Amino acid sequence: MRRPLRTHGYRAATAVALACALTAATQQGAQADPQTLTDVQKELESLYHRAEVATDKYNAADGKVKAQKKRVGSLDSQVRTTEAKLTRLNSLAGAAARAQYRGGGMPAELQFALARDPGRALDNAGLALRAQQNTQNLLTDLKTTKSALRTRTDEAAAELKRLQASRHAMATQRRTIEQHIAEAKLLESSLAAKERQRLADLEKKQSDQAQAKWESTGILKKVGTDTTTAGQKAIAFAAQQIGKPYVWGAEGPDSFDCSGLTSQAWLAAGVTIPRTSEMQWAQLKHVPIEDMRPGDLIIYFSDASHVAIYVGGGDIISAPRPGRYVYKSPAASMQILGVVRPEA
């Protein structure tokens, strides 16, 4: 029989605040008024999971904004370069026209008729005509290029505004989730120390049971134990971060979120991978779980909202969630979606 949740002498104001927080959570689809440790655990898992999803989406939106800013900057630079070429060519064309004027502006036909060497005059006239025509063609091409670049720049700037608006929406959503995290922390703080320990024990028990079930399939006899030099470097980097706190959107050096840890670990190994767990799942090479090796990344949950680096022996290193620290834990302690390999 599950024991009821004890609050051990809550003051009335604290109890009211907790009730209000749980009411807000209910409006967002979370369970309200949890009565058992299991319910509390589910409540916390739900809130932290939604927080991680929101963080991943914000990171993805922020990455798109940064990339688009670079694109707009590059296009602006191309426009300025084209404008400089146009100015220079216009100046040269003007200089040529002034030189012709100073030379009397004599038509090519008359120059040919009066020349001592008609053949050379004809050649000179032809060269001048071709040069003039080439300059005019180049001017026309540059004007067309400038117009096209300006159109692309305007379109890119409009897309940047759209992406910035999307990022703002993701930031707003993240702030809402932060409120849910505050509710979760309030919920945790409502438990007496003995109850918090029982909750931690319950989490560990469930984690151990899930790991034991996974290992009972014989999976550890199938997965690889050797890794590449790059994989070793990535694992070594992740191991050096153990004990550092989880912070939303952090990529080190003092704190990390889950995908911040894995992306920086592989960057330390000389391999650039996508920033978020969703993008890592979408863009990196998928490998069967039984073929994974140390250094590969394990993606968790159906929405690919969490990621960890596999270090061998059935263990992972990950940045779990707010309030926790980078640590080593059983690979099957969460719902495995699949495995990706950063190396080609």
Instruction: Give the CATH number, domain containing residue 295.
Output: 3.90.1720.10
Domain containing residue 238: 217-341
Those residues whose C-beta lies under 8 Å from the C-beta of residue 108, and which sit 6 or more positions away, are 125, 128, 129
Same domain assignment for residues 227 and 176: no
Max Cα separation, the chain? 119
pTM of the model: 0.59
120 and 237 assigned to the same domain: no
Number of domains in the chain: 2
CA dihedral sign of residues 141, 147, 153, 156: negative
User: Does some domain include residue 211?
Assistant: no
Within 13 Å and on the Cβ side, how many CA atoms surround 20?
8
Same domain membership, residue 175 and residue 54 = yes
262 and 222 both lie in a single domain: yes
Residues 181 and 222 in one domain: no
Q: Is 259 inside a domain boundary?
A: yes
Alpha carbons 180 and 247: distance in angstroms, whole number: 16
| pLDDT tens, residue order, the chain (344 aa) | 333 333 333 223 333 333 343 334 334 433 334 456 777 777 777 777 777 777 777 777 777 878 877 877 787 777 777 777 767 766 666 665 555 555 444 454 445 444 455 555 545 555 555 656 666 776 676 677 777 777 877 777 777 777 778 777 777 877 877 787 777 777 767 777 778 788 788 888 989 999 999 999 999 999 999 999 999 999 999 999 999 999 888 999 999 999 999 999 999 999 999 999 999 999 999 999 999 999 999 999 999 999 999 999 999 999 998 778 999 999 999 999 999 999 87
Residue 23 falls inside a structural domain: yes
CATH code at 114?
A: 1.10.287.1490
Residues 65 and 181 in one domain: yes
Decide if 206 is inside a domain: no
